[in-house]
Chain A
Amino acid sequence: MSTATVTEPPHLQPATDDVRLRVRGLRAAFSAAGGRREVVSGVSFDLLAGQCVAIVGESGSGKSVTARSLVGLVGRGGEVHAETLELYGRDTRRFRARDWRRLRGRHIGFVLQDALVSLDPLRPVRVEIGEALRVHGWGDRASRSRRVIELLTRVGVPLPHTRARQRPGQLSGGLRQRALIASAIALDPGIVIADEPTTALDVTVQAQVLAELESMKQRGASILLISHDLSVVAQLADHILVMQQGRVLEQGPAAVVLGSPSHDYTRALIAAVPGEHTRGRPLSPGSAPRQTERRAARGTDPVLEAAGLVKRFTGPDGSVTTAVRDVSFTLAPGETLGIVGESGSGKSTTARLVLGLERLDAGTVRLLGEPWSALPERRRRALRPRITVVYQDPLSSFDPRWTVERILLDALPREDRTSASTRRARLLELLALVDLDPELLGRFPLRLSGGQRQRVSIARALAPRPSVVVLDEAVSALDVTIQAQILDLLARLQHTTGVSYLFISHDLGVISHVSDRILVMKDGAVVEQGTPRTIFGSPQHPYTQQLIASIPEFDPASLTGAPLENPDPLPRPIDADADGRAVSSIRPRPATEVLS
């Protein structure tokens, strides 16, 4: 057993050139039933003091396995090889379990996504944070509990004494993510690995967490950031690695990789990020350009009218919460109305009310000028095919034992079912509409990729030739390049079929890309509505202003000053930034500003 101890790294020092982590030729493989499968093939980089290195990639790119192999936790059946793997100058390839345990927590902190499941849900956060100290024998009980409070204060948790006694489930998303960060930095590790630290967080919370990571970096910590989200990476990273299928396609200083990427995949990734500057043009390289005159055929009578919608829920303790309060809007033919809001804002409940899946407490919904919410379900059925829905997770909205053919067949209206040949023709037409191979008809949903599933789900929604499709977070769970393809597809379908979209999302970039008009919801009420230009250009309501200010600024063209090779990005309005500052900086605003 090795008795050598890890040399104490210099903490809290300004950035110097010392290499805290040196990785050369890192490979990781898993042995599965089908043999050995390599998921990381030759990753090399250095992490310097006070530096942030980011690994960007989509699901399956091997970025998380890379991060875990750096701390010796790739999981069961995993094998790691490297030419060099040095932490603070020590070769970790010959580490025993005990050496790793000494290192983890003390010299490397790890932040996973979603603290609701990444902290033990049964214990108060002070026990979780204190555990990081206790495991390494730091201090006694009293000094540990003082330290926990100190850490919570440092990561900006208000009322640390109260919050420390609460469990993760009792804290809001932002507070518990900060508690998770506090547990990772309890012993001031020189390296912090953050694996998708802001995924699944609301945009304002994301801004707080990013500001916290930024201030850690300024205090001298080295950060390895793992993310699928380029706009998050652009905020923090000094150096970026782009990974796909276990390989590093490109790496270099952040400004170079984002500003003048040399690999096609990087360019596709950057172009796929939706936002206001991408309005009216395709996000995906293969897609045909969108025509701007698509709204020519628009009529004047709204297809959907919601007036004064109210929905209340009674909790188990008898308390009444108003999930939707006095929401009104109209949707014109061929129009896309975006509803944006954070979790709990009532946007999905609004969708369910519009779909007639939830009883209204007040207000009316009219569909195609006819009563809709006032009707009993039996009489609503005739109109049901006129309004359909696409959900975030298509897999759970499919019967897993049905093939694609049966799923689509089930959605066909009566007039398309007259004979086997008309049915078949309509199915093939639907598949062609969403660019799917007819071969997939015999497949089960489980054997489709995420993008294919969402296409099937869109085909199903279009099968009855609806006037309105409700898209409830329909692209939120997809990788960015797949999301780009689906968004392009939706734009094209709207152009060809003239369908109206009620597009619900928490993602401001997506909303600003697709919407003709936008409703901003908070606590069940619409706080502001308008065109993307007015909402993003001159937000009036303080909440909208806060929301817009929280969007990670991502405008690749501004990174180096050199224009991106991508065709004619529309110029961003000069007043796009709520604070009236230029939109060219990749630096996040100071922590205090965001947290205040």
Chain B
Amino acid sequence: MTRTSFADAGTSAETEASPATAPTSFGRARSRAVARQIVRKAGSALVVLWGAATVAFFAQLALPGDRATVILNIRAGQAQLRTPAELAPIRAAFGLERPLIVQYLDYLRGLITGDFGNSYQQFRPVTAIIGEQLGATIALSLTAILFAWLLMVVWVTLTAGRGPRLTAFGSLTDVVVAGLPAYWLGILLLLVFALGLRWFPVLGGSGPEGLVLPALTLAIPLAGFMSQSTRAEFERALEQPFVLTARMRGMGDWGVRISHVLRHAALPAITLSGWALGATISGAVIVESIFSRPGIGSVLVAAVNAQDLPVVTGIVTLVAVFYVVVNLLVDVVHTLVDPRLVQS
């Protein structure tokens, strides 16, 4: 888009002189830029995934103790020293006697083909274990993000740029809410809305009504967090000349806030959402245990405690995949909301 600055120069004679070619060549340049961006993004996504998988693999090796002994002890449920004869079948079964680089490449090949290995503890493929729990966690995360956006948008639109007192109250609320600990908030919600008012079931349940309180537990601090950055951007956008222009056209305050300002203010929150989706998966552990919900979180905690490394590795890699995919989505949404980004 360096071309437009040149078009500015020449009394716009240039742009006007070649009317037919301008839009098409512009369109071609744009689609080329988009294609280049996609290739670059996909490349960096692969690098991130490879990095996460590699770190997870070598973290296993870094743990103290012989791996075969660990595996055997997990299975036997008791910790003791084993003889080489006892360990030999384990070593053979997991290929531990091979050189490290071969094991690593084998591991990578497994990841590409979707084979995460078998759980030490449950004697089942890791993919099956994760697959059973994944749905519940994704439902929880997405609902939490949705709730957070609703709360944030309503709260910021109501309170941002409304005079000193209301603004101060709004941003104070943001800070306080963002700092609420999830376990405390979860128990509070449970006490009030499940035990007290009996609006929602106490124990998770699989239906949508069981999802509301756990999702809110994650969403409320997140909404406070996103509000802080959105509010700053919202108030900045309210002062922009184009907002004045909109008011000069006869647009009311609500119209200005919703149809102009919100779009500008949403950009930082969209970026945060990518981070938040990953964070809600990790944060799900606490919520799942408070509300006795199934999910990846509790599987991860159990696997870490039991040193069930294939499961841990699988979940870490999965979360990395999640982050990468979500951030690609965030980039797409970003360019939809702010089309100027395509050019730069």
Tell me whether A523 and B241 are in contact in the complex, defined as CB-CB below 8 angstroms, given that A104-B250, A106-B250, A319-B2 are known contacts. Answer: no
Instruction: Identify which of residues 1-23 in chain B touch chain A, using a CB-to-CB cut-off of 8 Å.
Output: 1-12, 15-16, 19, 22-23
Q: Determine if A105 is an interface residue (Cβ-Cβ < 8 Å).
A: yes
Residues of A within 8 A of B5 (CB): 343-344
Asked if residues A343 and B8 are in contact (CB atoms below 8 Å), the reply is: yes
Assess whether B251 is interfacial by the CB under 8 Å rule.
yes
Does B247 sit at the interface, judged by CB under 8 A?
yes
Q: Which residue on B lies nearest to A322, using beta carbons?
A: B6
A205 with B12: CB separation less than 8 A: yes
Cα-based distance from A288 to B259 in the complex (angstroms): 56
**What per-residue 1/0 map shows which CB atoms of A140-179 lie under 8 Å from chain B?**
0000000000000000001100100001011111110000
CB-CB under 8 A from A170, the residues of chain B are 1, 4, 26
Main secondary structure of the interface of B (DSSP, over half): helix
Known: A73-B248, A135-B249. A205 touches B11 (CB 8 A): yes
Cβ-defined partner of A114 (8 Å) among B6, B241, B339, B343: B241
The answer on a CB contact under 8 Å between B251 and A135 is: yes
Asked whether A172 and B242 contact (CB < 8 A) given A105-B248, A122-B263, the answer is no
Q: Which of B4, B15, B22, B23 contacts A169 (CB 8 A)?
A: B4
As a 0/1 sequence over residues 117 to 130 of chain A, the CB contacts with chain B under 8 angstroms (1 = contact) are: 11111100000000
Q: Is the CB of B9 within 8 A of A342?
A: yes
Cβ-defined partner of A172 (8 Å) among B7, B29, B36, B339: B7
Question: CB-nearest residue of chain A relative to B12?
Answer: A172
Q: Say whether B172 faces chain A, with CB atoms less than 8 Å apart.
A: no
A122 and B340 within 8 A (CB): yes
Q: B15, A120: Cβ atoms under 8 Å?
A: no
| Cβ 8 A contact of A104, one of B29, B240, B249, B340 | B249
Contacts of A522 in B (CB 8 A): 9-10
Q: Say whether A131 faces chain B, with CB atoms less than 8 Å apart.
A: yes
Determine whether the beta carbon of B12 is less than 8 Å from that of A110: no
Q: Is A101 an interface residue (CB 8 A)?
A: yes
Residue A244 is within 8 A (CB to CB) of chain B in the complex: no
- Is B163 engaged at the interface, CB distance under 8 Å to the other chain? yes
Check: B209 CB closer than 8 A to any chain A CB.
no
Q: Is B41 an interface residue (CB 8 A)?
A: no
- The contact string, 1 if C-beta is below 8 Å from chain A, for chain B 131-166, is 000000000000000000000000000000001000
Contact of A101 with B242 at beta-carbon distance under 8 Å, contacts A175-B12, A205-B11 already known: no
Quick check: B337 and A345 within 8 Å, CB to CB?
no
Does A52 lie at the interface of the complex (its beta carbon under 8 Å from any beta carbon of B)? no
Q: How far is the CA of A268 from the CA of B32 in the complex (A)?
A: 56
Task: Tell whether B102 is near chain A: CB-to-CB under 8 Å.
Answer: no
> CA of A159 to CA of B26 in the docked complex: distance in angstroms?
15
| Complex: chain A residue closest to B7, CB-CB | A172
Q: Which one of B10, B242, B249, B340 contacts A132 once the chains associate, using CB atoms below 8 Å?
A: B249
Contact A172 B4, beta carbon cutoff 8 Å: yes
Q: Is A571's CB within 8 Å of the partner chain B?
A: no
Q: Which residues B239-290 have CB closer than 8 A to chain A? A: 240-242, 244-253, 255, 259-260, 263-264
Whether B106 is near chain A, meaning CB under 8 Å from some CB there, is: no
For the complex formed, measure the closest distance between the CB of A488 and the CB atoms of chain B, giving whole angstroms.
31
**A158 and B5 alpha carbons, distance in the complex (Å):** 18
Pick from A169, A175, A204, A317: contact of B36, CB below 8 A: A317
Q: Which residues of A contact B340 (CB under 8 A)?
A: 121-122, 167, 169
Q: How far is the CB of B246 from chain A (nearest CB, A)?
A: 7
Q: A76-B163, A170-B4 are known contacts. Are A317 and B248 too (CB-CB below 8 A)? A: no
CB-CB under 8 A from B86, the residues of chain A are: none
Instruction: Tell me if A315 counts as interface (CB < 8 A to partner B).
Output: yes
Contact B4–A121 (Cβ < 8 Å):
no
Please tell me if A402 contacts chain B, counting CB pairs below 8 Å.
no
Contacts of B16 in A (CB 8 A): 158-159
Kindly state whether residue B301 has any CB partner on chain A within 8 Å: no
Query: Is A36 part of the contact surface with B, judged by Cβ < 8 Å?
Result: no
A103: Cβ under 8 A from any B Cβ = yes
Q: How far is the CA of A208 from the CA of B241 in the complex (A)?
A: 22
Asked whether B242 lies within 8 Å of A117 as measured between CB atoms, the reply is yes
Q: Closest Cβ of chain B: how far from A112's Cβ, in Å?
A: 5
Q: Looking at the assembled complex, report how far the CB atom of B143 sits from the nearest CB atom of chain A, in whole angstroms.
A: 29
Say if the beta carbon of B78 comes within 8 Å of chain A. no
Say yes or no for A580: interface residue by CB 8 A criterion. Answer: no
Residues of chain A within 8 A (CB-CB) of B2 are: 313, 315, 319, 321
Residues from 169 to 206 in A contacting B, C-beta threshold 8 Å: 169-175, 180, 183-184, 186, 202, 204-205
In whole angstroms, how far apart are the Cα atoms of A316 and B30 in the complex? 11
> A420: CB under 8 A from chain B?
no
Q: Which of A158, A162, A174 contacts B11 (CB 8 A)?
A: A174
Asked if B344 is an interface residue, CB under 8 A from chain A, the answer is: yes
Chain B residues lying within 8 Å of A205, measured Cβ to Cβ, are 11-12
Question: A204–B33 Cα gap in the complex (Å)?
Answer: 32
Q: Which of B22, B33, B241 contacts A316 (CB 8 A)?
A: B33
Contacts of A171 in B (CB 8 A): 4
Residues of chain B touching chain A, judged by Cβ–Cβ distance below 8 Å, are: 1-12, 15-16, 19, 22-23, 26, 29, 32-33, 36, 163, 240-242, 244-253, 255, 259-260, 263-264, 337-340, 343-344
Given A73-B247, A110-B244, A162-B19, 10 more A-B residue pairs with CB atoms under 8 Å apart are A104-B249, A105-B250, A117-B240, A131-B259, A159-B19, A169-B1, A184-B248, A202-B9, A343-B8, A343-B9
> What are 17 residue pairs bridging A and B, where the CB atoms are less than 8 Å apart in the complex?
A76-B163, A101-B252, A102-B250, A109-B248, A112-B248, A114-B241, A118-B242, A131-B251, A158-B16, A169-B1, A169-B340, A170-B4, A170-B26, A186-B249, A319-B2, A522-B9, A546-B11
